[in-house]
Structure 1
Amino acid sequence: MAKVTGTALVTGGNRGLGLEVCRQLGRLGMRVLLSARDIAAGAEATAALRSEGLEVTFEPLDVTSQESIDKLADRLERQGLRLASLVNNAAIALQGFDASVAERTVAANFLGPLHVTERLLPLMEEHGRIVMVSSGAGELEGLSPAIRQRVDPPPSKEELVALMHEFVDDVRGGGYAAKGWPGSAYRVSKLGLNALTRLLAAELKPRHLLVNAVCPGWVRTRMGGEGASRSVEEGADTLVWAATLPPEGPSGGFFRERRAIPW
């Protein structure tokens, strides 16, 4: 692939897919801002990439903390930085299923990308790329009609946020199944993220920003496990592709292996 210029910010970049995305973007010639909640792990990952000759800087970021997001944005603004790419990779997959798991999962996997993207939008270059790291778990197929009609087509952003909070409340109250919700907080968070991708793509079209969701597949990471079918290099490929699309590239799509897949 030809060299790519500009600055890319990757959330959850200290390990797994995020780290490999940072590496591949750096090898393409981009300046990479590797962000992570764990400061020690983020600094170690950054040092490793810099030892490979890549231009990588560590930026502390907890996507579940508005204060942390604001501090990051303020730092970048003071430096006069503009972002060519934003890869919303940070996410969690917790064991079990209860109100606490639902709330924490929605906070990290849906509200995190929403708040990070909204706060960094003023720093995005024209024709910038925003990538949401999603999952096949977020596909609409197999979803109950009651829930599907509430996310497809997506409602307003405010209604979507309220819907995600409603899911958490329904889990807390024990009535989630009767309302048609899946018994997986991870799946619901990715359903919300996919709907958000479609909303943002339409909203940001006048600014010529490209917003897409990517399913990296089942990848051998700490989250995916050692038995997963894909390497981190393979999983990162389509994420890097989406983060380096040309100005005439697609927007508002869901991709796997660089090919569009149904929502």
Structure 2
Amino acid sequence: MKQATRTVLVTGANRGLGLETCRQLGRLGWRVLLTAPDSTEGQQACEALRSEGLDVHFEFLDVASQESLSTLAGRLEQEGVRLSALVNNAGIAMDGFNAHVAEYTLAVNFFGPLHVTERLLPLVEEHGRIVMVSSALAELKDYPPAFQRRFNPPPPKEQLQTLLRSFIEDVRAGVYERKGWPGSAYRVSKLGLNALTRVLAEELKPRNLLVNAVCPSWVRTQMGGPHAARSVERGADVLVWAATLPPEGPTGGFFRNRRPVLW
């Protein structure tokens, strides 16, 4: 399959890492489906990349909305779109910590990638690539052994979802500390995402799909802030690398700077 015929869908791509990932893959000759939950920003981002001569198309997608996802997936199916790669980049880090923050953060950062991947899987070609954008805060070695055992080995997908929902309920009930959870919805969402990566990687081996999580490090984006150490161009490199792995590439891993991170 010629590289110029490959299509990638990138979530949360109206700015930052997602936008730069679209740019770098477009420069490699890929057809890019740039998705975002804001139509105005998404269209502007798309037009900016198209002005660079790249084959980029905007698609509306709010990863926290099943209706939005169903609408997009249905249209792509009707159009006969086939994906060589799916980059689950959309993510949030909210201020404060309460049940609402926990619920919405997990809706975007964990359940979003889960639902997007499951719904779009019929469109992903054999030997396709699925990329989950994670964080160094999800390195299990930084947590007590008893807590690590909740995620390693990762529980089956349904049990993993139940575990993440229990975190939300424990925050709502004010017992999350007693239950051993960290006081950060962002951390828990990325821990769940890493576990999901490993579950999906094993599940999708018969289709020869490579599923990996990547850490772009601290990047100068709206989320990372202006004082972050890494440029968005360098941060996006590991996302592009994971989306373009050769058939013999790794699966079920967690990578930073293209190198594996210990679970």
**Taking structure 2 as the reference length, what is the TM-score of the superposition?**
0.98
> Which residue number in structure 1 is paired with residue 225 of structure 2?
225
Q: CA deviation at 1:141?
A: 1.6
> Which residue number in structure 1 is paired with residue 20 of structure 2?
20
Question: Contact 1:62/1:69 (CA < 8 Å) preserved in 2?
Answer: yes
Within 1, Cα distance between the matches of 2:174 and 2:6? 48
Partner amino acid for 1:254? F
Correspondences of 1:129-208 after superposition (within 5 Å): 129-208=129-208
> Which residue number in structure 2 is paired with residue 66 of structure 1?
66
Q: CA deviation at 1:5?
A: 4.1
RMSD of aligned alpha carbons: 1.0
Partner amino acid for 1:25? L
Q: Secondary structure at the match of 2:154?
A: coil
**CA offsets 1:104-137 (integer angstroms, 9 cap, x no match):** 1000000000000000000000100000000001
> Which residue number in structure 1 is paired with residue 35 of structure 2?
35
Within 1, Cα distance between the matches of 2:82 and 2:189? 29
> Which residue number in structure 1 is paired with residue 89 of structure 2?
89
Question: Contact 2:4/2:31 (CA < 8 Å) preserved in 1?
Answer: no
> Which residue number in structure 2 is paired with residue 261 of structure 1?
261
Q: Secondary structure at the match of 2:110?
A: helix
Partner amino acid for 1:47? E
Partner amino acid for 1:212? N
Within 2, Cα distance between the matches of 1:3 and 1:136? 31
**CA offsets 1:81-116 (integer angstroms, 9 cap, x no match):** 100000000000001111110001000000000000
Identity of aligned residues (%): 69
> Which residue number in structure 2 is paired with residue 54 of structure 1?
54
Question: Contact 1:4/1:244 (CA < 8 Å) preserved in 2?
Answer: no
Within 1, Cα distance between the matches of 2:144 and 2:250? 29
Question: Contact 2:43/2:58 (CA < 8 Å) preserved in 1?
Answer: yes
Partner amino acid for 2:196? L
Q: CA deviation at 1:146?
A: 3.1
Q: Secondary structure at the match of 2:141?
A: coil
Q: CA deviation at 1:144?
A: 2.9
The alignment covers a number of residue pairs equal to 262
Question: Contact 1:144/1:180 (CA < 8 Å) preserved in 2?
Answer: no
Q: CA deviation at 1:150?
A: 1.3
Partner amino acid for 2:206? P
> Which residue number in structure 2 is paired with residue 120 of structure 1?
120
**Taking structure 1 as the reference length, what is the TM-score of the superposition?**
0.98
Question: Contact 2:17/2:221 (CA < 8 Å) preserved in 1?
Answer: yes
Q: Which aligned runs of 4 or more in structure 1 are off by greater than 3 angstroms?
A: 2-5
Within 2, Cα distance between the matches of 1:260 and 1:5? 29
**Cα distance change, pair 242–7 in 1 and its aligned pair in 2 (3 A):** same
